Amino acid sequence: MDFKTLNKHSYVPYSGNARSCVVRSTDGGYFPGVRVENISYPLTIGRIQSALFSCLGAGKRPETIIFPEDPGAEELMPYWLAEYGINAEVNSSFSFEPEPLILKDKLSDNEIFDTLSELCEMAVTPNSDFQVSALLEVENGYIPGVNVECSNWELGICAERVAISRAVSLGYKSLGNMYVMAPKSDYVSPCGACRQVLMEHLPAGRIVLHQNDNHTMSVTSSQLLPYHFGGEVLKKK
Ligand code: THU
């Protein structure tokens, strides 16, 4: 994949400003990240956060962020570089093979349960010690997500949104159902911010919540977020 292709994966209907970068992990894996906007602008996931959290949520250590153009001081660059002790590189002609994050087999309900349970071990939760895992259905499999926290609480992202930003970064346009597990929770239910992001990317999908008394609860995004903030008026293109 090259930056021309990756940039096109950006979800930027509100600004039109496609943005992408790639994180290289210490073991040589490549994790693409694109800007994933939301109709509620402050819920936008920046390209750096998207790529870094994809890497961290796969249990890898980031080493370098590669940009197609000089990023300047945008998107909290100094914070991210210091947080992980990493470097930034500019290389517009860089091409790479993304780390294969997708699980390609069709999973049974039991396999979804087992996969979600195993995935919780990948959660990065230095602040909360509260692990959450998500699996997002795409046309040829499932994209995993876990919650990733960092030193700044405001910059962590929930498992649901890590799965969505990974799927968008990998170029998936149509997202299916989402499965969520949080073993330490009394009651599993996506946070308000995730509901708004689910509404944007999974308007018709079902969210299957794995409750800890072994039953699942399947709801739609609009059941989770009735009277949601929406509309076309903010879209630029
Ligand atoms: N969290 C999720 O990953 N998903 C949710 O739906 C609720 C909250 C994470 C975010 C943070 O890492 C920790 O749980 C505590 O809020």
**155-204 tens-digit pLDDT:** 999 999 999 999 999 999 989 999 999 999 989 999 999 999 999 999 99
Which atom number of ligand 1 is nearest to the Cα of residue 131? 14
Q: Residue 237's pLDDT is what?
A: 65
Q: Residue 221's pLDDT is what?
A: 96
Is 232 domain-assigned? no
What does residue 30 show for φ and ψ, rounded to 5 degrees? -120, 130
147 contacts 162 by C-beta, under 8 angstroms = yes
**18-58 tens-digit pLDDT:** 999 999 999 999 999 999 999 999 999 999 999 999 999 99
Instruction: Compute the residue count for the chain.
Output: 237
In the listed set 57, 90, 123, which residue is the last one of a domain according to the structure?
90
Is 237 domain-assigned? no
pTM for the model: 0.96
* Residue 218 sits in the same domain as residue 173: yes
Is 231 domain-assigned? no
89 part of the active site: no
Q: Residue 162's pLDDT is what?
A: 98
Is 57 domain-assigned? yes
Order across the sheet with 178-181: list the strands: 141-146, 133-138, 178-181, 206-210, 216-220
| Number of structural domains the chain divides into | 2
3-state secondary structure of 34: strand
83 C-alpha to center of ligand 1: Å?
20
Is 75 domain-assigned? yes
In the listed set 27, 61, 90, which residue is the last one of a domain according to the structure?
90
How much of the chain, in percent, has pLDDT values that exceed 70? 100
* Residue 146 sits in the same domain as residue 72: no
Q: Residue 186's pLDDT is what?
A: 87
Q: 207 CB less than 6 Å from ligand 1? A: no
Is 234 domain-assigned? no
Is 155 domain-assigned? yes
* Residue 39 sits in the same domain as residue 109: no
In the listed set 90, 123, 156, which residue is the last one of a domain according to the structure?
90
* Residue 141 sits in the same domain as residue 55: no
* Residue 36 sits in the same domain as residue 146: no
* Residue 58 sits in the same domain as residue 109: no
Q: Residue 208's pLDDT is what?
A: 98
* Residue 109 sits in the same domain as residue 78: no
Provide the token pair at 56.
């961290």
Query: What CATH number is attached to the domain comprising 78?
Result: 3.40.140.10
* Residue 74 sits in the same domain as residue 139: no
Provide the token pair at 102.
């997708």
Q: 212 CB less than 6 Å from ligand 1? A: no
Structural domain boundaries enclosing 134: 103-224
Is 164 domain-assigned? yes
**62-111 tens-digit pLDDT:** 999 999 999 887 778 999 999 999 999 999 999 999 999 988 889 999 99
* Residue 119 sits in the same domain as residue 173: yes
114 contacts 130 by C-beta, under 8 angstroms = no
* Residue 218 sits in the same domain as residue 117: yes
The neighbouring-strand residues paired with 135 are: 144, 179
* Residue 57 sits in the same domain as residue 116: no
Instruction: Find the mean pLDDT for residues 147-158.
Output: 97
Q: 196 CB less than 6 Å from ligand 1? A: no
Q: Residue 89's pLDDT is what?
A: 96
* Residue 55 sits in the same domain as residue 79: yes
